[in-house]
Structure 1
Amino acid sequence: MRCWQGCPGMAGRRPMIWTAAAPGKLILLGEYAVLEGAPALVGAVARRARVSVVDVDGGFRLRSALIGNEEIEFEFDSDGKLRFLSQLPPSGEAKLQLFRVCVEECRAAVLAFGNSMKPLRISLDTEAFFLEDTRQKLGLGSSAALTVSLIAALMARFGLLDARVPDKSLLLERAMSAHRKAQSNTGSGVDVAASVYGGVFQYQLNGKAGKPGIATHPFHLPPDLLTVAVWSGKSASTPKLVGMVNRLKDANPEEYNGMMTRMRELSRTGIGAIRNSDTPLFLKTVSEYFDAMADLGEAAGAPIISPPHREISAICRESGVQYKPSGAGGGDLGILFSREPERIRAAVQTLEKAGFPAFDLQIGTHGIQIQAVKKEQ
C-alpha cells in the first residue's frame, strides 16, 4: 500500500491538520425490512460530523462537546486499550465508547501497517446533529457520521487512506466494523454507507456475513419530487424499537415474516418508481409504507408510529401531502413528500403552528470529505 502524505518522514515540515467531514442521512424507504434483505432508499443530508487531527508533543488529547468541550488526555495500555487519564463527567465513558472503539481499531491498523501512532490532538464536532435550543438529537445518524469522519481522518493521517481520492470501499469496511462493535452489532449499517458515499442510493444487505452491498449507480430523485423533513418533538431509541420488533420475530415468526414480505415488496416498488421517475407511484408507496410501519408497531407493541407521528401524518393528509417517519420511528424526524410546492408550504405552515418545525436538509449531498492543510506556526 502506498504511504500518502502524513506518513513518517515528514520531519522538518510544518505539521498538518487533517480534517474529515461526513454527512448524516435520512431513510426514504425500507425501514425494518432492510434488516431482512430488502432494498432501502437512503439519502445523505447536509448536516456533517467533523473531526480534526493534529500531531502534538506530549500525550494524546481529545476535545468534544460530548464531554463539555474540556480537553482530556488519554493513552494506550500494553494491550492496546484506550484509557482516559482525565476525570470524565458523569456518563462520559458511555458517551465516548464509540470514540474509544474507533481509535483502538485505527491504532491496530496503523501498527499492522508497520507505523506507530504518535500523540495527537483530536477534536470532534457533531453539533449539526442537535437542535440548537433544546440539545435534542435529531436522529440523522450522528454516530455513523462521527465514526466515518474519525476513522477517515486517522487513516489519512497515518497513510492508510489517500485524502485526495479516498478508497471508499476500504473506509466503509473499517467504519462498519467499528460502528457495529460499538453498537453491539445492531442495525443495518445504512447510515454508515450514507456517510461514506453520500448522494441518494439503494442499500441492501447481501447476506454474506452481514457485509453490505451498495448499488453501484446512485439514484437521482425525480425533479418533481419535493421533500421536507419535520421534527416530531422528541428523540427516539432505534435499538429499543428494533429490539421490540425482534421479540415479535421470535414470538410469532409467521406474522413477522408476512409483514416483512409486505414491506419488502413496497420498498422494491417505491425504489422502482424512483428509478423510472414515476413520482405518483412513489407517493402512493410512501402512504402504504406508513400504514405498514403502523401495523408492524401495533403487532410488536412498539410505538413506531407514535402520537406525534400520527398527528403529523393527519396534518399532511389534510394538506394532500404524503408522510412517513425516517428511520425506526417513535420520534426523531419524518419526511413530507409531494409534487406540489403549494401543498408542501401549506402543510409546513400548519405543522410549525402545531409545534413541529420543518427543515430543508438538502437530500443527496456529497459523502466523506477529507482535507490536509499546513498548521500555522
Structure 2
Amino acid sequence: MTGTRTVTRHAPGKLFIVGEYAVVQPGHPAILAAVDRQVAVTASAAHGGGADVVIASDLCPGEARLRRGDGGLAALGADDEQRVRDGLTHVVSAIETVDGLLAEQGLSAPPVHLSITSRLHHEGTKLGLGSSGAVTVASVSAVAAYYGLELSHEDRFRLAMLATARLDARSSGGDLAASVWGGWIEYQAPDRAAVLDLVQRLGIEESLRTQWPGFGIRRLPSPRGLAVEVGWTGRPASTSSLVGSLGRRAWQGSAYQRSFLERSDSCVRASVDALERGDGPELLRQVRGARRILAELDEEVRLGIFTPTLTALCDAAETVGGSGKPSGAGGGDCGIALLDATAEEATVHEQIAHLRKGWAAAGVLPVPIHLQSTKGSAA
C-alpha cells in the first residue's frame, strides 16, 4: 500500500418508495430506489501542513485539516473543527472506520486528501435524497480503494453502516443500501445496537464476516409502465430529528406500533409482488395505501410528517390519476408522484403538465431526477 494514487468513487442518492418509519425497526422492510444524481469523492495524497487527513467539499468553504490519534481524527484548529461540524461528520466517521479496519490488519493509514462534490443539493440546500448516506458510502469506497483494500458490495455497506451507527444508531441505513447496490431494492435494517456490540467484542474485520441480525437486501425489478416525478417542498427536514422524536413517544411496544408495522410490512410485500409481476396499477394502489399508513401514523403520534406542501404534492398526484407520498421521513424535503405511463405519449405529457401546475400552485419545485434502473440479478 503506497497511498500515492488518485481514486474517485461515486454513490447515488435515494428515494423511499414505501416502508418509511417501519424500516427503522430491525427486520422490517422498505423499498428504495437510487437516483441518477450522485456524490463524488476523490482520494489523493495529502502533503505537508501537519495534517494526516485533509477534506475539501463544495458545500463549505476552505478545507478541514485533521490529525490521527488514539481517539480517532482530531481537528488541527477551531476553523477545522467548525468545518467538520458544518457537514463533514459522516465523512470523518467513514475515514475513521476504514482506518480502524486497516489497523486491525496491522497496517498504518497514509495521509489522504478527500475532495467531495455533491449533486444532491439545490443551491447548497439538501433535497432529501440521502446525501449523508451517499457521502458516507462514497467516502468509504474512495478511502478503501486508496488504501488498496478490496471490498465487496456488502463490505462497503457494512463499513458505511458502522460509520453511520457510531453517529446515530437510529438511522435505518436504507440510504446506504441504495447507494451501494443502486437500482430498486428491498431492504431490512440490521439491529444497530447488536452490530455495535459485535464490533466492540469482535472488531471491525470479524464483524464484516458475522451475520447481522435483521439485515436483508435484495434487488427488485424496476417498475413497468409508470412515470415517476419528484417534487421538492423547498423546506429541508431532519430525518434524525423526526425519527428521534418518534422514539421518544410512548408507542414503543404499543398495540398501535404493532398495527403500524403489520400494515407497513403488508404494503411493502404487496409492492414487491407488484414490481416482480410488472403490475403498475397495483403498485400505484399500494403507494396510495402507503400514503394513508403514514398519514395515520402522523395523526396518531403528531410528528409533523405531512406539511401542507407535502399534502398538496400528494393531492395533485391523485388528481391526475396517479399516487403521491412523502419520500422519507417527511416534514419537508421531497415527495414522489407515480403516474400511469401506458397511455399515449401526449396524454402522459398532459398529466405531467397538470401535476406540475398543481405543484407550482402549492410551491412545490419539480426536480429533474430519474430513478436508476435495476441491473444484474438479485443480490
TM-score of Structure 1 vs Structure 2, range by shorter chain: 0.7 to 0.9
Q: Is the 8 A contact 2:174 2:189 kept in 1?
A: no
| 1:186 is aligned to 2:170 | yes
Q: Which has the higher contact order (CA 8 A, sep 6+)?
A: 1
| 1:213 is aligned to 2:215 | yes
Q: Which string of whole-angstrom CA distances, capped at 9 and with x for unpartnered residues, describes residues 26-64 of structure 1?
A: 011111122233321111111111111111332332212
Match of 1:83 among 70, 74, 97: 74
Aligned pairs for 1:279-298 within 5 A:
279-298=280-299
| 1:97 is aligned to 2:89 | yes
Q: How many angstroms apart in 1 are the aligned matches of 2:81 and 2:362? A: 35
Match of 2:154 among 166, 169, 173: 169
Paired position in structure 2 for 1:324: 325
More helix per residue: 2
Distance 1:206 1:80, change over 3 A: closer
Aligned pairs for 1:305-316 within 5 A:
305-316=306-317
240-249 or 186-195: bigger deviation: 240-249
Q: Which string of whole-angstrom CA distances, capped at 9 and with x for unpartnered residues, describes residues 69-114 of structure 1?
A: x13422112x142111143278534233222222222222222223
> Offset of 1:269 from its aligned partner?
1.3
Paired position in structure 2 for 1:3: none
| 1:21 is aligned to 2:10 | yes
Distance 1:339 1:259, change over 3 A: same
| 1:110 is aligned to 2:111 | no
> Offset of 1:66 from its aligned partner?
4.0
Distance 1:149 1:90, change over 3 A: closer
| 1:38 is aligned to 2:40 | no
169-178 or 109-118: bigger deviation: 109-118
Paired position in structure 2 for 1:197: 181
**Alignment coverage as a number of residue pairs:** 345
Q: Which string of whole-angstrom CA distances, capped at 9 and with x for unpartnered residues, describes residues 215-253 of structure 1?
A: 44x222232011111112211111222123223454771
Aligned pairs for 1:205-354 within 5 A:
205=189, 209=194, 211=212, 213-216=215-218, 218-250=219-251, 253-340=254-341, 341=348, 342-354=350-362
- What is the identity, as a one-letter code, of the residue corresponding to 1:112? E
Q: Is the 8 A contact 1:55 1:120 kept in 2?
A: yes
| 1:122 is aligned to 2:114 | yes
Paired position in structure 2 for 1:371: none
Q: How many angstroms apart in 2 are the aligned matches of 1:264 and 1:18? A: 40
Q: Is the 8 A contact 1:245 1:297 kept in 2?
A: no
Distance 1:86 1:343, change over 3 A: same
Q: Is the 8 A contact 1:38 1:267 kept in 2?
A: no
Q: Is the 8 A contact 2:221 2:374 kept in 1?
A: no
Q: Gaps spanning 5+ residues in structure 2: where?
A: 196-211, 342-347
Q: Identity across aligned pairs (percent)?
A: 29
Q: How many angstroms apart in 2 are the aligned matches of 1:241 and 1:16? A: 41
Q: Is the 8 A contact 1:80 1:108 kept in 2?
A: no
Q: How many angstroms apart in 2 are the aligned matches of 1:80 and 1:366? A: 40
Q: Which string of whole-angstrom CA distances, capped at 9 and with x for unpartnered residues, describes residues 341-362 of structure 1?
A: 2323321233135421112322
Q: Is the 8 A contact 1:304 1:328 kept in 2?
A: yes
| 1:62 is aligned to 2:64 | no
Where 2:159 maps in the other structure, the secondary structure is: helix
Q: Is the 8 A contact 2:222 2:374 kept in 1?
A: no
Q: Which string of whole-angstrom CA distances, capped at 9 and with x for unpartnered residues, describes residues 231-285 of structure 1?
A: 1221111122212322345477112221222222112112211111111111111
Q: Is the 8 A contact 2:229 2:366 kept in 1?
A: yes
Distance 1:221 1:96, change over 3 A: closer
Q: Cα RMSD (Å) of the superposition?
A: 2.3
Q: Gaps spanning 5+ residues in structure 1: where?
A: 1-6, 368-377
Q: Is the 8 A contact 2:190 2:216 kept in 1?
A: no
Aligned pairs for 1:42-53 within 5 A:
42-53=32-43
Q: How many angstroms apart in 1 are the aligned matches of 2:104 and 2:28? A: 36
